Structure 1
Amino acid sequence: MDALSGLPIGTLLASFFVFQLLFHFLSSWFSAAVSPGFNSLSFEKKIEWNSRVVSTFHSLVVGILGLYIFFFDEVTTADPFWGSSSISRVNIAIASGYLVSDLLALLLYWKVIGDKYFVIHHCSALLAFYIVLRDRVLEYIGNVRLLSELSSPFVNQRWFLETLKYPKFSRANVANGVLMTSVFFLVRIAAIPPLYHFLCSAVGTEPFVRLGPVTQVVWVVTSFVLDSMNVMWMVKISRGCLKVLSLLRDEKARGALQNGKLA
């Protein structure tokens, strides 16, 4: 029981059940109400749609709380290693409950939404968050990591637009694509150098040594795994965005040429 005594079990369980409720019931009701196209989707598309609605809701909750902690939580910002506050633990517990809920959904509907990279991502994050919550360490780092979730609404919106068959060159699609690429880079890629600079500069210091070898190894390994996937996804997103912008530019050039000939 001692290993679990520091964990906000109540928040984590509440988060898990809320996200399960959203996935299995509330998302379908909400989506049918706001998007007429939802009812015409196949069973498989509805499953992924609901998964992405839940992902978007989770991202907004933990992302906004993460921003508040980043700017205003003096306890964790003053001591990134050992500073501990209720709001930072609550945010990480909410994220952990979502990760468990999403892992369950992935396993239940593996043929529809199963993805080995998501499993690796979720398990790595859960391991890191377990250490953070159990020992009340590195809460600041954990919440900085959660800021990466601010890119997920744009990633999910791209899928929604494609599923609803919005034209590739529609304003909604192009604007979302540019925003998705920009925000993804800002919160997932641009954050990598400062995080690793902090990690490297911390090695050998008294607060770092106090973490112990297990926490040190978990911090390094999970960071490497998560950031490797972020870089991989960034490359794919950038290629897609550049391809669309290039095609859009060519389309405009052809249109201008045709208009010139007609004139």
Structure 2
Amino acid sequence: MMQVSEDTAMMIESYRNQAEVLVRNYLLADPFIPYTSIISGIFMCKMVYDLTQLISSFYFKGYHGLTKIQRIEWNNRGISTVHAIFITVMSMYLVFFSNLYSDDRLAGLIVFRSSQLSSFALGVSVGYFIADIGMIFWLYPSLGGMEYVLHHLLSLVAIAYSMLSEEGQLYTYMVLISESTTPGVNLRWYLDTAGMKRSNAYFVNGVMMFFAWLVARVLLFVYLFYHIYLHYNQVEQMHAFGFLLVFVVPALLSIMNLMWFGKIIKGLKKALAKRQ
């Protein structure tokens, strides 16, 4: 019995070592990162789409009562939720907890710093945006209008450039932290589609969305532009296209965020008025 346990432990350890070698030599090897990360992101989208469809058909009775396009959007929002959680965790870690972009670090300018992990995570996000915008175009305008197309195109170009050039990754990750609001947006749609628009959960979701949006899509962008101002002498050393992206993409996204935030405020005011 002891021998069997030892053999099993040795076998597990062997597989773990092989997996580490695979990740280090291929998935996170510099020449392969752009390809493996993007493919991983697209594969993740397909896997999550199928899992959302499978789980929902078993555990949500109303799933089969939805229209075909509603079921597609239901599954699609499962993809965006998983991506949002993944990229938010990675962004928070790289921006605030790792020392990769710390001012105290002396290894090069902040705008030119990157790592295998940071580039790989961006590639996964590129894969997601490719898959998602493909679905948006295929089913246009059922999954979103021109504002979603613009948002995805801006994000795709900026993230892909940052991954391939290894420039401005700090600011790319700062913007990607705003994806933390996506699970709340998707939950709101799920509740509405499930006929729970008058529930307490729907109201609480609206209140939480207001605060999350304020922090992640308004105040965070103010901090981002302030950080760019403090490090402008470094930003101006970027290539012209990267320099342009650092200013244009966050500025356009800020305008869109403020427009959506205005709609959130109006919706919250109406919900509060009905409860008085």
TM norm structure 1: 0.86
Shift of 1:57: 1.0
Give the aligned partner of residue 96 of structure 1: 126
Post-superposition offset of 1:167: 4.2
Q: Following the alignment from structure 2 to structure 1, what is the Cα–Cα distance between the partners of residues 255 and 46?
A: 29
Q: Give the CA deviation at 1:142.
A: 1.1
CA distance in 2, matches of 1:209, 1:229: 26
In the alignment, structure 1 residue 145 sits paired with structure 2 residue 175? yes
Separation in 2, partners of 1:46, 1:201: 47
Aligned equivalent of 2:43: 17
Percent of matched pairs sharing the same residue: 24
Q: Once the 2 structures are TM-superposed, how far is the Cα of residue 199 of structure 1 from its aligned partner?
A: 2.1
Corresponding position of 1:211? 238
Q: What CA deviation, in whole Å up to 9, does each residue of 1:89-108 have, x standing for no partner?
A: 22211211111110011111
Distance apart, 1:7 and its partner CA: 5.6
Partner of 1:258: none
Which residue number corresponds to residue 160 of structure 2? Answer: 130
Deviation at 1:209, TM superposition (A): 2.8
Q: What secondary structure does 1:29 align onto?
A: helix
Q: Following superposition of structure 1 onto structure 2, how do residues 130-209 of structure 1 map, counting pairs within 5 Å?
A: 130-168=160-198, 170-203=199-232, 205=233, 207-209=234-236
Looking at structure 2, the residues matched to 6 and 196 of structure 1 have their Cα atoms a distance apart, in angstroms, of 33
How big is the alpha-carbon RMSD for the aligned residues of Structure 1 and Structure 2?
1.8
Partner of residue 3, structure 2: none
Deviations 1:78-99 (A, max 9, x none): 4531221222222211211111
Q: CA deviation at 1:73?
A: 1.6
Question: Shift of the alpha carbon at 1:5?
Answer: 5.6
**Unpaired stretches in structure 1, ≥5 consecutive residues:** 250-263
* Alignment deviations for residues 131-185 of structure 1 (CA, whole Å, 9 cap, x no partner): 21121111111111111011010111111001110142x2211111111111111
Change in 2 beyond 3 A, CA 1:174/1:81: same
Could you tell me how far apart the structure 1 residues matched to 2:216 and 2:245 are?
Answer: 22
Please tell me whether residue 49 in structure 1 is matched to residue 78 in structure 2. Answer: no
Partners of 2:116 and 2:59 in 1: CA distance: 35
Structure 2: runs of 5+ lacking an equivalent:
1-29, 104-108
Q: Which residue identity is paired with 1:235?
A: G
Q: Which moved more, 1:95-104 or 1:69-78?
A: 69-78
Secondary structure at the aligned position of 1:113 is classed as coil
2:151 maps to 1:121: yes
Secondary structure in 1 matching 2:48: helix
Contact 1:107 1:114 in 2 (8 A): no
Q: Aligned with 1:210: secondary structure?
A: coil
> Which 10-residue stretch deviates more, 35-44 or 193-202?
193-202
Native 8 Å contact 1:52 1:156 kept in 2:
yes
Partner of residue 248, structure 2: 221
Is this contact kept in 1: 2:88–2:176, CA < 8 A? yes
SS at match of 2:113: coil
What SS class does the counterpart of residue 77 from structure 1 fall into?
Answer: coil
Going from structure 1 to structure 2, the CA distance change for 1:138 and 1:111 (only over 3 Å counts) comes to closer
Answer whether contact 1:76 1:85 (CA < 8 A) is retained.
no
Whole-angstrom CA distance in 1 between matches of 2:264 and 2:137: 26
> What amino acid is aligned across from residue 166 of structure 1 in structure 2?
M
Counterpart among 15, 22, 31 of residue 56 in structure 2: 31
After TM superposition, list the pairs within 5 Å mapping 1:231-250 onto structure 2: 231-249=258-276
1:8 aligns with one of 23, 34, 47: 34
8 Å CA contact 2:94, 2:100 repeated in 1: no
Number of aligned residues: 242
